[in-house]
Amino acid sequence: MADDDVFIRMDAAEILQNAGFRVYEAASVNEAFAILLEAGNAIQLLFTDVQMPPGELNGFDLARRCSSDWPHIKILVSSGQIRPQPGDMPDGAVFISKPFTPEVIYERLQVLLPDGQKPEPLKVSHKSHSS
């Protein structure tokens, strides 16, 4: 999960962990690249925000590079401000708008991931989230 906003990153990581995934967290594109270089062969999903300052690269750049260098990794891109234009996202990548819910992420994962990598059934959380 790559997002510069620590609270969004924590929420998304929790959603992914509840769906049965081991999660690596990155606060920047450079951190995400470092994780991919170290563990890319074992990673099955990249979930990235579009805007991640500081730096010249954004989440679209990360998604395209990931798709090129690790074609087995499925890609989920999110943003609350930017919508992808033609050529922004690699083929097969899926976009979701922020704010997102666990149900929306789960639904996209069901479509995006192959049968052997589907998420576990969504767990109901009893804690309240305030935004």
Query: Residue 40 belongs to a domain with what CATH number?
Result: 3.40.50.2300
Q: Classify residue 60: in a domain, yes or no.
A: yes
Q: Classify residue 122: in a domain, yes or no.
A: no
Q: Classify residue 131: in a domain, yes or no.
A: no
pTM over 0.85, yes/no = yes
pLDDT digits (tens, 9 = 90+) for 106-121: 999 988 988 777 778 7
71 Cβ partners below 8 Å, 6+ apart? none
Q: Classify residue 124: in a domain, yes or no.
A: no
Q: Classify residue 129: in a domain, yes or no.
A: no
Domain membership of residue 74 as a residue range: 6-100+109-115
Q: Peptide bond preceding 54: is omega within 30 degrees of 0, i.e. cis? A: yes
Q: Classify residue 130: in a domain, yes or no.
A: no
Question: Strands (DSSP E) along 39-91, which ranges?
Answer: 45-49, 74-79
34 Cβ partners below 8 Å, 6+ apart? 26
Our count of domains for the chain comes to 1
Written as six digits, the tokens of 38 are 């170290």
- % of the chain beyond a pLDDT of 70: 93
pLDDT digits (tens, 9 = 90+) for 9-40: 999 999 999 888 999 999 999 999 999 999 99
Q: Classify residue 80: in a domain, yes or no.
A: yes
pLDDT digits (tens, 9 = 90+) for 36-65: 999 999 999 999 999 987 778 999 999 999
**CA end-to-end span of the chain:** 20
Q: Classify residue 88: in a domain, yes or no.
A: yes
